[in-house]
């Protein structure tokens, strides 16, 4: 019988209504320590720019702090948005992290802008972001992580083997196929596009070619999960993210509201229909229900690792959700497959 899947964490450092970026980052440190004690495998933080509800803007800085605050967790970027940065800078940053925290650093890479166009332009001008294709940028970064004698420029911190595992992030079959062709590990964002998960997993396995980064397919799937003591409590907590999504669809985005405010909102029938149509990306329930949801993801994708993100208002409820998910890990089993990922 196969072993239980690995469980990991994706944390955007959410800024909820009435909170601050500092509080969000301190909560991230607290949650990382909890995940470390509960046996979670990885803890990834993203790169976003000028997004009012997200404090995660500088992954390399935050990763170094989280690695210092924990003992055994792998800590990484989920991910660095490569077009926003010269590849040599990414290699220098993550080579440094790998040297200071050997065997504990991951480098996830994405191509999304990560924020409003005007803000991303302030990070790096579009002419520089698009001067090379994303694949060319990946090739340039890989070259810095595999320096050749006499070839300059070099990313000095990587010398001596300080090279983190590279993961390609995506939410489509196209990104899965690219990861397979390049021989990279692949992280699929089920929480952004649950309907494409199975096709992406199949495409990744079929296109995979062994490389210096991965000798066999390796895939994780990130899932949005709200777990509580029972289904009713979990549904009540999920009201926060549902109202936030509804507000964005209606054209007036808000920070994540409290579940109390969400429960008191005067929803129309049209509002409820909109929420129902957009709720499939968040897996909500008590332990038994969440077990069924997560097992379905494992069965569909064949992955051996689930990366959980939990969009709830109160930090104590977020901690409790991760505690409950950890208790059900032994009930989950990856699908038996001749090509496991």
CATH code of the domain covering residue 290: 3.20.20.30
Residue 22 falls within a domain, yes or no?
A: yes
Query: What pLDDT sits at residue 338?
Result: 43
- d(CA 262, CA 246) in angstroms, rounded, equals 11
Residue 243 falls within a domain, yes or no?
A: no
- d(CA 264, CA 258) in angstroms, rounded, equals 10
Query: What pLDDT sits at residue 213?
Result: 84
Query: What pLDDT sits at residue 280?
Result: 87
Domain count, the chain: 1
Residue 339 falls within a domain, yes or no?
A: no
- d(CA 39, CA 326) in angstroms, rounded, equals 8
The two structure tokens encoding residue 79: 């991910």
Query: What pLDDT sits at residue 340?
Result: 46
Cis peptide before 153 (omega within 30 of 0): yes
pTM of the model: 0.95
Residue 49 falls within a domain, yes or no?
A: yes
Q: Please report, in tens digits, the pLDDT of each residue of the chain (341 residues total).
A: 578 999 999 999 999 999 999 999 999 999 999 999 999 999 999 999 999 999 999 999 999 999 999 999 999 999 999 999 999 999 999 999 999 999 999 999 999 999 999 999 999 999 999 999 999 999 999 999 999 888 899 999 999 999 999 999 999 999 999 999 999 999 999 999 999 999 999 999 999 999 988 899 999 999 999 999 999 999 999 999 999 999 999 999 999 999 999 999 999 999 999 999 988 899 999 999 999 999 999 999 999 999 999 999 999 999 999 999 999 999 999 986 544 45
Residue 143 falls within a domain, yes or no?
A: yes
- d(CA 190, CA 222) in angstroms, rounded, equals 6
Nearest residue to 45 (alpha-carbon basis) of 36, 37, 54: 54
The Cβ of residue 198 has, within 10 Å, a number of other Cβ atoms equal to 16
Residue 262 falls within a domain, yes or no?
A: no
Residue 187 falls within a domain, yes or no?
A: yes
Residue 175 falls within a domain, yes or no?
A: yes
Place of tokens 């397919």: 217
Q: Are 62 and 97 in contact (CB under 8 A)?
A: no
Query: What pLDDT sits at residue 337?
Result: 54
Q: Are 234 and 200 in contact (CB under 8 A)?
A: no
Helices (H), the chain: 21-38, 59-69, 87-100, 117-123, 126-129, 134-145, 173-182, 197-207, 231-249, 259-264, 269-277, 287-301, 315-327
How far, in Å, are 36, 40, 104 from residue 74 at the CA level?
A: 9, 9, 4
Cα of 59 vs its chain's centroid, Å: 12
- d(CA 226, CA 317) in angstroms, rounded, equals 9
Residues 6+ apart with CB under 8 A from 17: 254, 255, 256, 257, 258, 261, 313
How far, in Å, are 39, 50, 316 from residue 35 at the CA level?
A: 6, 27, 13
Dihedral sign (CA 182, 186, 191, 193): positive
Q: Which domain holds residue 301?
A: 6-225+282-331
H helix count then E strand count, the chain: 13, 9
Query: What pLDDT sits at residue 173?
Result: 96
Nearest residue to 108 (alpha-carbon basis) of 52, 54, 60: 60
Cα of 130 vs its chain's centroid, Å: 24
- d(CA 110, CA 18) in angstroms, rounded, equals 30
């Amino acid at each position: 019988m196969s072993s239980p899947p690995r469980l990991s964490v994706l944390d955007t450092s959410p800024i909820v209504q009435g909170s601050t970026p500092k509080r969000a980052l301190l909560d991230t440190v607290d949650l990382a320590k909890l995940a470390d004690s509960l046996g979670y495998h990885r803890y990834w933080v993203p790169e976003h720019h000028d997004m009012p509800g997200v404090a995660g803007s500088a992954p390399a800085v935050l990763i170094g702090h989280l690695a210092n605050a924990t003992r055994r967790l792998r800590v990484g970027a989920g991910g660095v948005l490569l077009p926003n940065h010269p590849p040599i800078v990414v290699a220098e940053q993550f080579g440094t992290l790998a040297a200071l925290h050997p065997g504990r650093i991951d480098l996830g890479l994405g191509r999304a802008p990560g924020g409003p166009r005007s803000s991303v332009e302030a990070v790096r001008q579009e002419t520089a972001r698009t001067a090379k294709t994303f694949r060319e940028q990946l090739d340039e970064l890989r070259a810095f992580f595999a320096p050749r004698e006499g070839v300059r420029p070099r990313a000095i911190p990587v010398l001596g083997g300080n090279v983190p595992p590279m993961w390609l992030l995506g939410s489509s079959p196209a990104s899965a196929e690219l990861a397979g062709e390049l021989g990279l590990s692949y992280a699929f964002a089920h929480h952004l596009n649950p309907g494409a998960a199975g096709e992406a997993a199949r495409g990744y396995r079929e296109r995979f070619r062994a490389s210096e980064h991965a000798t066999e397919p390796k895939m994780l799937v990130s899932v949005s999960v709200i777990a509580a003591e029972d289904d009713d409590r979990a549904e009540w907590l999920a009201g926060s993210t549902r109202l936030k999504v509804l507000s964005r669809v209606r054209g007036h985005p808000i920070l994540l509201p409290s579940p109390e405010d969400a429960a008191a909102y005067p929803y129309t029938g049209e509002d409820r229909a909109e929420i129902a149509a957009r709720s499939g990306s968040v897996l909500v329930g008590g332990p038994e229900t969440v077990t069924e949801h997560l097992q379905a993801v494992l069965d569909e994708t064949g992955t051996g690792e689930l990366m959980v993100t939990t969009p709830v208002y109160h930090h104590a409820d977020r901690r409790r959700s991760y505690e409950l998910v950890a208790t059900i890990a032994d009930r989950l089993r990856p699908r038996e497959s001749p090509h496991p990922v």
